[in-house]
Chain A
Amino acid sequence: MNGVLSISTVLNFGSAGLIVLGLYIVFTQKNLIKMVIGIDIAETGVNVLLVSTGYIKGNTAPIFSKAGLQVSSMVDPVPQALVLTSIVIGFGVSALALAMIIKLYEKTGTLDTSKIRGLKW
């Protein structure tokens, strides 16, 4: 049962759980802010997934900050770089989303998606 309690398993469950939770919030919450939070949660889930792709058991961060560190004992640096980028992008989008939503709130006086349906059909 090597797989059951491995870190990869935990990360897998974590990412799938976060993605699904985030999407569930997006689908069911009518408050726009909450929807954005849902998207953030889902994005976090994807970031966890990204990290898990580079995870190698027992290995540490890929930084040659002291002597004797071996390449074979480090985790893959690429996913970490990807995660950094993905986090920053996610942050940018969320901040933008909140700004837009605030402005939309000014115009409509509500954050309820079932009331913000000026555009349909």
Chain B
Amino acid sequence: MILGLSFVLIGLAVLFSTLRLLKGPSTFDRLLAADTLAIITTALLVLMASYFSRIIYMDVALVYSVLGFAGVVVVARYLEGGL
């Protein structure tokens, strides 16, 4: 039940973030939306790990968040004026 509600809430979160991702207006807005989406996805992966009782998905979540972090930083630096 709680998990179900969580899924719904997270789904809405994905929706709003995606709207911002699409809407912009500046690239930085999109970037922070992407950053948020990465966090939400990480949370979702953790929730899945719990749902399927597979601890290995936690590793996936960890890898995902590492990569998300790097991606955001790189793009931000790039937008600031080159790598």
Judge A-B direct contact (beta carbons within 8 Å): yes
**Contact surface of A with B, Cβ cutoff 8 Å:** 60-61, 63, 65
Residues of B with C-beta under 8 A to A60: 52, 54
Q: Smallest CB-CB separation from A63: which chain B residue?
A: B56
Q: How large is the interface on B (under 10, 10 to 19, 20 to 34, 35 or more residues)?
A: under 10
- Residue B55 at the chain A interface, CB threshold 8 Å: yes
Q: How many A-B residue pairs have CB under 8 A?
A: 11
Which residues between 34 and 59 of chain B lie within 8 Å of chain A, taking CB atoms?
52, 54-57
Q: How far is the CA of A43 from the CA of B57 in the complex (A)?
A: 24
Residues of B with C-beta under 8 A to A65: 54-56
Residues of B with C-beta under 8 A to A63: 54, 56
Q: How far is the CB of B21 from chain A (nearest CB, A)?
A: 13
Interface string of B51-73 (1 = CB under 8 A from A): 01011110000000000000000
Residues of B with C-beta under 8 A to A61: 52, 54, 56-57
